[in-house]
């Protein structure tokens, strides 16, 4: 009787360990494992490696669970037969099966999920070493299973990341404004230049060939930092900075042509994605682009600030007279 009880207890403990470790590993996300690695927590390096490629460690756990259950059942059955005879096999098997299900599977997995991080960190180095020892057997199993199933690479989709940010916001792991920023980042590729541009009908422009002094009245009464320059045909031929013209005026160069201060304009098509606009502005160190139709007609102006507003919300400073020119004047 003591030998039978001790064997049952050992089988339950070993099975419980495998079940708890499995639940803890699956409850610790890939991202969390790398956060722990950055914090240099004990066992975090092994945990990050395991979470990076779960197939082999999981195979190790499956092997351990099945070996424990099968070998343990055989030993328990043999001891029960020697102690109580063949008639007790059915009863002992039913009792042991119930114990393994409850105390070797269900309870340990609940504990593994509840205390996922400490269990995962403590078990990761041991599991990694055990996986290395069993690597020849695991390799054979992988080759066999590969015949019947193709393993697709797991990719986290945009929709899944959005859901994760919402869950993180509800649970308090990330702030509400951080979750909103994540949602806005993903919305950039759904918007086009025409969605955020200022329509050409409300854009203030300067005329090519005019002098700095002739252009000064507009600069004095408008708070804009850059102006498109158009020729007599209404085509955009350049961009000038208001600061450069005002400095020239202050230095007595009012008779200079504004053409001397022009920069080459950046043109984008109406269907240009906003995330691509952000890359364009950053890579070219420019702050303004002109949206052109297929026929070369200017449709509007889009700025770096317009793109940023899609991420952080409306940007209004003390010089803004109209909050959103896209809504008209």
pLDDT surpassing 60 at residue 326:
no
**Cα separation, 288 vs 271, whole angstroms:** 16
Q: Are 242 and 225 in contact (CB under 8 A)?
A: yes
Q: Model confidence over 308-321: pLDDT tens digits?
A: 888 877 766 555 55
Q: Are 41 and 118 in contact (CB under 8 A)?
A: no
**Cα separation, 32 vs 51, whole angstroms:** 10
Q: Are 48 and 29 in contact (CB under 8 A)?
A: no
**Cα separation, 266 vs 287, whole angstroms:** 9
Q: Model confidence over 255-296: pLDDT tens digits?
A: 999 999 999 999 999 999 999 999 999 888 888 999 999 888
222/318: higher pLDDT = 222
Q: Over pLDDT 70: what percentage of the chain?
A: 91
Helix axes 2-27, 107-114, angle to 10 degrees: 40
pLDDT surpassing 60 at residue 31:
yes
User: Which range is least confidently modeled, 26-35, 155-164, 189-198, 267-276?
Assistant: 155-164
Measured CA distances, 246 to 203, 217, 223, 228, 256 (Å): 20, 11, 12, 16, 12
Ranges of beta strands (E only) in the chain are 198-199, 206-207, 226-230, 236-241, 267-268, 288-292, 298-303
Question: DSSP labels for 168-198?
Answer: HHHHTSS-HHHHHHHHHHHHGGG-BHHHHSE
Long-range contacts of 72-78 (CB under 8 A, 24+ apart): 72/7, 72/8, 72/10, 72/11, 72/14, 72/15, 73/11, 75/7, 75/11, 76/4, 76/7, 76/8, 76/11
**Cα separation, 36 vs 38, whole angstroms:** 5
Q: Are 60 and 131 in contact (CB under 8 A)?
A: yes
pLDDT of residue 29: 84
Question: DSSP labels for 196-217?
Answer: HSEEGGG---EETT-BHHHHHH
pLDDT of residue 128: 92
Indicate the domain borders of the chain: 2-148, 158-189, 191-327
CB atoms within 10 A of CB 71: 12
Q: Which helix (H) or strand (E) holds 121?
A: helix 116-133
pLDDT of residue 96: 83
Query: Residue 262 is encoded by which pair of tokens?
Result: 């022009």
Q: Which fold has domain 191-327?
A: CBS-domain (3.10.580)
Q: Model confidence over 55-113: pLDDT tens digits?
A: 889 899 999 999 988 888 888 888 878 777 777 777 877 888 888 889 988 999 999 99
pLDDT band at 329 (very low <50, low <70, confident <90, very high): very low
pLDDT of residue 317: 58
Helix, strand, coil fractions of the chain, as percent rounded to 5: 65, 10, 25
User: Which range is least confidently modeled, 87-96, 141-150, 213-222?
Assistant: 141-150
User: Which range is least confidently modeled, 25-34, 124-133, 205-214?
Assistant: 25-34
Query: Residue 124 is encoded by which pair of tokens?
Result: 């990761």
Q: Model confidence over 298-310: pLDDT tens digits?
A: 999 999 989 988 8
């Amino acid at each position: 009787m003591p030998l039978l009880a001790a064997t049952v207890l050992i089988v339950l403990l070993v099975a419980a360990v495998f079940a708890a470790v499995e639940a803890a590993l699956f409850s610790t996300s890939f991202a969390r494992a790398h956060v722990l690695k950055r914090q240099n927590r004990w066992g975090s390096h092994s945990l990050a490696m395991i979470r990076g490629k779960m197939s082999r460690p999981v195979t190790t756990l499956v092997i351990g669970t099945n070996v424990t259950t099968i070998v343990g059942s055989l030993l328990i059955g043999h001891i029960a037969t020697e102690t109580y005879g063949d008639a007790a096999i059915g009863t002992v098997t039913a009792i042991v099966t119930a114990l393994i299900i409850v105390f070797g599977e269900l309870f340990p997995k609940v504990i593994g999920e509840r205390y996922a991080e400490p269990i995962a960190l403590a078990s990761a180095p041991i599991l990694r070493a055990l996986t290395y020892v069993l690597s020849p057997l695991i390799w054979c199993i992988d080759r066999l299973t590969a015949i019947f199933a193709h393993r697709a690479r797991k990719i986290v989709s945009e929709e899944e990341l959005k859901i994760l940010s919402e869950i993180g916001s509800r649970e308090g792991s990330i702030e509400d404004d951080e979750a909103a920023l994540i949602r806005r980042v993903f919305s950039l590729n759904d918007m086009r230049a025409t969605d955020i541009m200022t329509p050409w009908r409300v854009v203030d422009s300067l005329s090519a060939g005019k002098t700095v002094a002739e252009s000064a009245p507009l600069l004095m009464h408008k708070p804009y930092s850059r102006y498109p320059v158009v020729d007599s045909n209404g085509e955009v031929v350049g961009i000038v900075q208001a600061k450069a013209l005002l400095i020239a005026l202050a230095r007595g160069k009012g008779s200079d042509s504004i053409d001397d201060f022009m920069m080459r304009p950046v043109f984008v098509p109406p269907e240009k994605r906003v995330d691509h606009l952000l890359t364009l502005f950053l890579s070219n160190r420019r702050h303004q682009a002109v949206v052109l139709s297929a026929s070369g007609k200017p449709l509007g102006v889009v700025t770096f600030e317009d793109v940023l507003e899609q991420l952080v919300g409306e940007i209004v400073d003390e010089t803004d007279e109209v909050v959103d020119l896209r809504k008209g004047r």
